[in-house]
């Protein structure tokens, strides 16, 4: 496939994931403000999210949107800042992997209450 | 007004060179091109610069004046003067041939690269294609059609600076007007040419081209149109087919 077509698809994926992220960030902020208004600790919050599939599902969607969105943007920035270095792809791929793995571990923690 | 002199610093040399200061008499309604012409005719005939129509039609006299790319024939000195000084340099993002004249080949080659030229399939024996003036395509094409190819947008674009293979605002604006030309027959070729990071998707939408365009065209809007059109064609297909 033509390189330009791949880049056009990546651009599209980044825009769609940005729309998902916009909603996720807003919902996340509302949850945070709601959760801490009575002074709940992290442990108490985890106690409440434990076993809640809806929370796990929502945050996994959040992670997936980040996984798509951030590496594409990072690759673009690196490519324009260091055009000849060839670091854009490896660094962006590593970032994507980190977001997916660490994010998903966090979601598992959220679901299991951090016991695993 | 005519008693005072302008201190005009003009770039002399090619890629390497220096600013040389000239004193030019101030006159009413003086344009920057008048200033450059005065220097060349009265002070230093070796000064090289480019102009043709002097009335804002041909797009050949663009230069960097006080740090901003402008069409010099329609730029009044009084509008941009800082104190009593002017600094006139060749356009950015283009190789300098000599003094104020840049090599525009790359700029125009990119128009070709963006398939920024019309190709129809009608002959003289066919009837005219009827394009309604108020049709959506015609309106979209109209918004970008007055480009004079001066290179001001190209010289003002930060993305051109960081990605030398980027087609640039003028070529992409031309491509956009042609994607809205219902008579053109090379649409798929065109949207393939402008796809990706050498094309429309590299644009940061910063709007420097739109701000600088002397014809008040908005290449940023044209490029945004291309981004959507091309990305959709790559993912879902377009009326001309899938990329």
In terms of C-beta density within 10 A (0-12 exposed, 13-18 middle, 19 or more buried), how is residue B231 classed? buried
Tell me: pLDDT of B170 over 50: yes
Q: How far is CA B129 from CA A44, B134, B181, B240, in A?
A: 71, 15, 11, 18
Contact A80 B201 (CB under 8 A): no
The pLDDT of residue B16 is above 60 = yes
Taking CB atoms and an 8 Å limit, are A83 and B231 in contact across chains?
Answer: no
The region that residue B119 occupies, defined by phi over 0 for left and psi between -120 and 50 for alpha, beta otherwise, is beta
User: Are the beta carbons of A80 and B234 separated by less than 8 Å?
Assistant: no
pLDDT surpasses 80 at B192? yes
Best B196, B204, B225 residue to mutate vs chain A (most A CBs within 10 Å): B196
Percent of chain B with pLDDT over 70: 99
Non-local (6+) Cβ contacts of A96 within 8 A are A67, A70, A71
A4 min Cα distance to partner chain B (Å):
4
Q: Does this complex have an ipTM over 0.90?
A: no
Report angle CA B144, B147, B149 to the nearest 5 degrees. Answer: 145
Residue pair B10/B88 in contact (Cβ under 8 Å)? The answer is yes
Question: How near does any CA of chain B get to the CA of A75, in Å?
Answer: 11
* Chain B residues in contact with A15 (beta carbon < 8 A): 231
pLDDT exceeding 90 applies to what percent of chain B? 91
pLDDT at B68: 97
Residue in B162, B197, B232 closest to A7 by CB? B197
**Single pTM value for the model:** 0.89
Q: What is the pLDDT of residues B92-145, one digit of tens each?
A: 999 999 999 999 999 999 999 999 999 999 999 999 999 999 999 999 999 999
The residue to which tokens 């005939």 are assigned: B45
Asked if B66 and B23 count as a contact pair (C-beta separation under 8 A), the reply is: no
Which domains occur in chain A, in start order?
Answer: 3-112 (1.20.1300.10)
Structure tokens, B224 = 């945004």
Q: Are B173 and B146 in contact (CB under 8 A)?
A: no
pLDDT of B1 strictly over 70? no
Q: Which residues of chain B are within 8 Å of residue A92 when distances are taken between CB atoms?
A: none
Judged against a pLDDT cut of 50, whether residue B56 lies above it is answered with yes
Q: How far is A60 from chain B, CA to nearest CA, in Å?
A: 24
Flag whether pLDDT at A44 surpasses 90.
no
Compute the average pLDDT of residues A60-77: 96
Which range among A77-91, B110-124, B166-180 shows the weakest confidence by mean pLDDT?
A77-91
- Which residues in A have their CB inside 8 Å of a CB on B? 2-9, 11-12, 15, 76, 79-81, 83
Which residues of chain A lie closer than 8 angstroms to B201, CB-CB? 4, 7-8, 11
Question: Is 80 exceeded by the pLDDT of residue B36?
Answer: yes
The pLDDT of residue B242: 84
Q: What is the pLDDT of residues B57-81, one digit of tens each?
A: 999 999 999 999 999 999 999 999 9
CA dist B205 to B71, B153, B157, B164, Å? 23, 13, 10, 17
Percentage of chain A exceeding pLDDT 70: 97
Q: Spell out the domains of chain B, with CATH numbers in brackets.
A: 5-102 (3.10.20.30), 105-235 (1.10.1060.10)
pLDDT at A116: 47
What are the contacts of A62-66 at 24+ separation with CB within 8 A? A62/A21, A62/A24, A62/A28, A62/A103, A63/A99, A63/A100, A63/A103, A63/A104, A63/A106, A63/A107, A64/A100, A65/A17, A65/A20, A65/A21, A65/A24, A66/A17, A66/A21, A66/A99, A66/A103
Mean pLDDT of A38-67: 91
The reported pLDDT for the residue numbered B131 is 94
Confidence of residue A114 (pLDDT cuts 50, 70, 90): low
- pLDDT (average), residues A68-86: 93
Residue A11: which of B192, B201, B243 has the nearest Cβ? B201
Give mean pLDDT, residues B24-33: 95
H/E stretch holding B97 reads: strand B96-98
């Amino acid at each position: 496939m033509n390189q330009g077509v791949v880049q056009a698809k990546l651009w599209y994926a980044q825009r769609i994931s940005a729309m998902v992220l916009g909603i996720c960030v807003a919902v996340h902020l509302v949850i945070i403000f709601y959760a801490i208004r009575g002074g709940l600790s992290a442990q108490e919050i985890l106690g409440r999210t434990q076993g809640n599939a809806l929370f796990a599902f929502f945050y996994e969607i959040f992670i997936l949107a980040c996984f798509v969105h951030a590496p594409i943007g990072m690759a673009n920035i690196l490519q324009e800042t260091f055009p000849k270095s060839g670091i854009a792809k490896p660094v962006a791929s590593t970032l994507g992997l980190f977001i997916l793995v660490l994010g998903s571990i966090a979601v598992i923690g959220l679901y299991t209450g951090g016991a695993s | 007004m005519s008693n005072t002199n302008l201190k005009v610093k003009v770039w002399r040399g090619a890629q390497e060179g220096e600013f040389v200061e000239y004193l030019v008499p101030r006159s009413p309604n003086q344009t920057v091109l008048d200033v450059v012409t005065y220097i060349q005719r009265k002070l230093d005939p070796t000064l090289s610069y480019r102009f043709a129509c002097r009335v804002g039609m041909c797009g050949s006299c663009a230069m960097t004046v006080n740090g901003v790319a402008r069409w010099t024939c329609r730029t009044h000195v009084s509008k941009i003067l800082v104190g009593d000084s002017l600094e006139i340099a060749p356009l950015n993002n283009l190789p300098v041939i000599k003094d104020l004249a840049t090599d525009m080949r790359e700029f125009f080659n990119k128009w070709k690269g963006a398939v920024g030229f019309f190709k129809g399939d009608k002959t003289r024996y066919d009837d005219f294609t009827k394009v309604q003036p108020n049709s959506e395509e015609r309106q979209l094409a109209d918004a970008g059609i007055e480009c004079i190819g001066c290179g001001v947008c190209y010289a003002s674009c930060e993305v051109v600076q960081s990605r030398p293979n980027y087609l640039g605002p003028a070529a992409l604006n031309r491509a956009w007007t042609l994607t809205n030309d219902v008579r053109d027959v090379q649409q798929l070729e065109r949207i393939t040419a402008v796809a990706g990071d050498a094309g429309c998707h590299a644009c940061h939408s910063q709007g420097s081209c739109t701000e600088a365009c002397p014809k008040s065209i908005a290449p940023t809007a044209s490029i945004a149109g291309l981004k959507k059109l091309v990305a959709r064609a790559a993912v879902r297909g377009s009326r001309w087919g899938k990329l």
